[in-house]
Structure 1
Amino acid sequence: LPGIGPALARLLARAIDGERVLDLLLHLPDETLIDRRERPTVDQARPGSIATLALRVVDVRAPSHGRAPWRVRGADASGTIELSFFARGRPKLATPGLDIVASGRIELYGGRPVMTNPDHVVLAAQANTIPALEPVWPLTAGLSGRMLGRAMAAALACLPELPEWQDAAVLRTQHWPGFAEAL
């Protein structure tokens, strides 16, 4: 698959218990869904919950030492929140004045709301790209959900047009999608 190098291919093979594109397409999520539909203001966001927040980047602070996070302070009309990024390099979209949407777990640190390593950060105009309900797939050490999602998207892009194998009447009466759509 395009964008899948040898190291990622090994991780995928371990997680999906196979090496074929079909194995990847049939690797199903477990029954857990991350619900990202809650879109509170900063002041309404509850610690321990997953929230999707519309924010304006107020300021950005670089790490003070090697293991410290990048800190991005975002605000809405109700208050401010700190987004902490422990990855190397300046976080994308960390530009003061930029309108963003961040989704992740809300925590309190020193009595203030914090979102550590948000799951999604996009421009406000791209807020609809954050899934409202996000499936959780079984993974393996070194393989993130984002990496698996990119591999799944590449596999789906390679899926040829196939005739539907299920009876059309069954699909209609059960309100089921076709095979390709279900994948």
Structure 2
Amino acid sequence: MPSVSLFELFCIFFYVGLFTIGGGLVAITLMQQMIVERGLISPEQFYNMVAISESTPGPIGVNMATYIGYELHGIPGGIIVTVGEVLPSIICILIIARFLTSFQNRPAVKTVFTTLRPAATGLVLVAAVNIFVLALLSIPESASALKTLEGWSGLFKWKNIAFYAVATAVALKTKLHPIVLILFGALFGIMFL
């Protein structure tokens, strides 16, 4: 597994924080490109981190950054990477706060924000699809491994699909608090995966 220095990791997450417009879920796609595709962590490890980061309090982008930094460099990594993730936002907010009243009603500014909404929605959708594919499908790593699947039925993770269907039905039909479903999901993962 390739290694990365703490400074490089800080720069990666500064970049992610700088170009994440639309919230922490958008950052997941950038993190995947920057971390998983470089081979620093496996895709399965990454999506486990996503699941844990979504279920812990706080912004998911910051939670992911902290988790990845800790995983790769321990406590100093968690701290440095978190700072790298939030620093661009802090800088941007300070600049915007200084000049907001002078440009907030300009047509160009309104157009930029109107254009960014669909792009951010698309990035969130990509992250959601990636999570669903990893959680619900058994996609082989090579074409030769495809022959070992028992037809279409081997392509699906049936236990996961069943749990997802039941959890969705419970969430839609009851007023059960989401933390209870998260705890049941954790228990399901421990027992069956």
TM range (shorter): under 0.3
Which is richer in strand?
1
Structure-1-length-normalised TM-score: 0.23
Structure-2-length-normalised TM-score: 0.23
